[in-house]
């Protein structure tokens, strides 16, 4: 439990206050904080260790990397100290520079993923993609209700959506790669799928109205999200009461090369973490289970997660 006096002492240091201020804007790795602040890695790691020991920040291991974010649900006595430190940081001259540097980091991440998917757009459906197996997809298809409104979030080239559109009332594909959207629209037109539409957008800010969808899909898309929790909240927002969430993604793994080979932001997810996030977004009757395991190294495992929006 964070101690008010210890928190006050730690956040009196301007560097630690700046670190906490940056983390309140989004999860960051040590090397990213180093790039923003221009400080040695050892110094940043020391400050983060002190903040973590005081329960002001938490870390998440993902392969060889550690990502840091603010601790949640602080006691009121400590929360007030943190808020005061953040407000003081915002008034400092370097605050604007920190914000610009943070935006460059986020934009660099986005461009890296976009460049990857623009490059492989023409061959994604034919090439190997970790976790996308017909065995796993088949299990998800059995759960589908015919003639419903579907949103495929992070649809890629629309391989799954084009199958669903043959029975669904409508399918809205959302992807943040302009090339993927262009290709998806062309394939839908070629296959005469008039009920399939492609939208350029981010799964963390879905360009669809509230309560407009019966079924939200995230098929091998969530591990590309900057903030998976935000993506799940968006899925909850666009679903009608009684609507269903279906997720196919990778189970947590340590294949570090996935970051470079497939532009993965997350190295899969632990079942318990994903279950908690789904419930946190507002879904009920959630379930997460492993549905497939590849025999070829690195032996990716695929998890299927479901949830229901209350009401209806």
52 in the same domain as 139: no
194 in the same domain as 128: yes
Residue 299 belongs to domain with CATH number:
3.40.50.150
Q: Is the model more confident about 217 or about 111? A: 217
289 in the same domain as 145: yes
Q: Check residue 138 and give its pLDDT.
A: 67
Distance of alpha carbon 288 from alpha carbon 280, whole angstroms: 14
Q: Check residue 150 and give its pLDDT.
A: 96
Give the number of domains in the chain: 2
- Cα-flanking dihedrals φ and ψ of residue 68, to 5°? -115, 145
Per the domain annotation, does 108 fall within a domain? no
| Residue 135 reports pLDDT greater than 70 | no
Residue 77 belongs to domain with CATH number:
1.10.10.10
Q: Name the residue range of residue 261's domain.
A: 123-308
| Angle value at C-alpha 30, between 273 and 104, nearest 5 degrees | 95
Give the DSSP per-residue string, 78-141.
HHHHHHHHHHHHHHSTHHHHHHHHHHHHHHHHHHHHHHHHHHHGGGTTTS--TT--HHHHHHHH
**pLDDT of 2-11, one tens digit each?**
888 999 999 9
**pLDDT of 82-97, one tens digit each?**
999 999 999 988 888 8
Task: Give residue 87's Cα distance to chain centre.
Answer: 28
Residues 6+ apart with CB under 8 A from 134: none
Average pLDDT for the chain: 91
**pLDDT of 253-303, one tens digit each?**
999 999 999 999 999 999 999 999 999 999 999 999 999 999 899 999 999
| Residue 34 reports pLDDT greater than 80 | yes
How does strand 65-70 pair with strand 284-293? unpaired
- Distance (Å) of CA 259 to CA 19, 63, 116, 267: 25, 10, 11, 8
Tokens of 212: 């407009």
Distance of alpha carbon 36 from alpha carbon 24, whole angstroms: 14
Distance of alpha carbon 250 from alpha carbon 220, whole angstroms: 7
> Is this prediction's pTM over 0.85?
no
CB atoms within 10 A of CB 114: 16
267 in the same domain as 129: yes
Distance of alpha carbon 73 from alpha carbon 246, whole angstroms: 29
Per the domain annotation, does 115 fall within a domain? no
For residue 304, the cross-strand partners are 248, 289
**pLDDT of 150-206, one tens digit each?**
999 999 988 888 888 888 999 999 999 999 999 999 999 999 999 999 999 999 999
The lowest-confidence range among 65-69, 110-114, 236-240, 252-256 is 110-114
Q: Band of the pLDDT at 31, cuts 50, 70, 90?
A: very high
Per the domain annotation, does 146 fall within a domain? yes
| Residue 19 reports pLDDT greater than 90 | yes
Between the ranges 13-17, 57-61, 232-236, where is the mean pLDDT highest? 232-236
Sign of the alpha-carbon torsion through 106, 109, 110, 112? positive
Distance of alpha carbon 108 from alpha carbon 227, whole angstroms: 15
Q: Band of the pLDDT at 226, cuts 50, 70, 90?
A: very high
């Amino acid at each position: 439990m964070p101690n008010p006096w210890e928190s006050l002492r730690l956040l009196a240091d301007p560097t630690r206050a700046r670190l906490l201020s940056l983390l309140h804007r989004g999860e960051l790795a040590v090397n990213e904080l180093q790039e923003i602040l221009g400080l040695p890695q050892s110094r940043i790691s020391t400050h983060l260790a002190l903040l973590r020991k005081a329960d002001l920040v938490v870390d998440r291991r993902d392969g060889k990397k550690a990502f840091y974010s603010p601790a949640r649900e602080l006691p009121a006595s400590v929360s007030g100290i943190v808020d005061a430190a953040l407000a003081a940081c915002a008034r400092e001259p370097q605050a604007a520079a920190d914000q610009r540097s943070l935006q460059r980091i986020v934009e660099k991440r986005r461009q890296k993923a976009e460049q990857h998917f623009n490059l492989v757009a023409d061959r994604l459906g034919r090439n190997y993609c970790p976790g996308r197996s017909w065995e796993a997809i088949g299990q998800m298809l059995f759960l589908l209700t015919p003639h419903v409104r579907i949103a495929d979030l992070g649809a890629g080239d629309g391989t799954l959506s084009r199958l669903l559109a043959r029975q669904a009332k409508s399918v809205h594909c959302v992807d943040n790669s302009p090339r993927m959207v262009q290709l998806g629209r062309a394939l839908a037109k070629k296959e005469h799928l008039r009920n399939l539409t492609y939208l350029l957008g981010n799964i963390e800010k879905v360009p669809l109205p509230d309560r407009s969808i019966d079924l939200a899909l995230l098929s091998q898309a969530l591990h590309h999200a900057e903030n998976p929790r935000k993506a799940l909240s968006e899925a909850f927002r666009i679903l009608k009461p009684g609507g269903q969430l279906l997720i196919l993604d990778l189970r947590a793994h340590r294949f570090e090369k996935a970051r470079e080979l497939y532009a993965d932001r997350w190295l899969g997810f632990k079942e318990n973490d994903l279950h908690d996030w789904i419930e946190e977004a507002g879904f009920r009757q959630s379930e997460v289970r492993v549905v497939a395991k590849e025999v070829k190294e690195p032996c990716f495992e695929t998890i299927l997660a479901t949830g229901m929006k209350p009401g209806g």
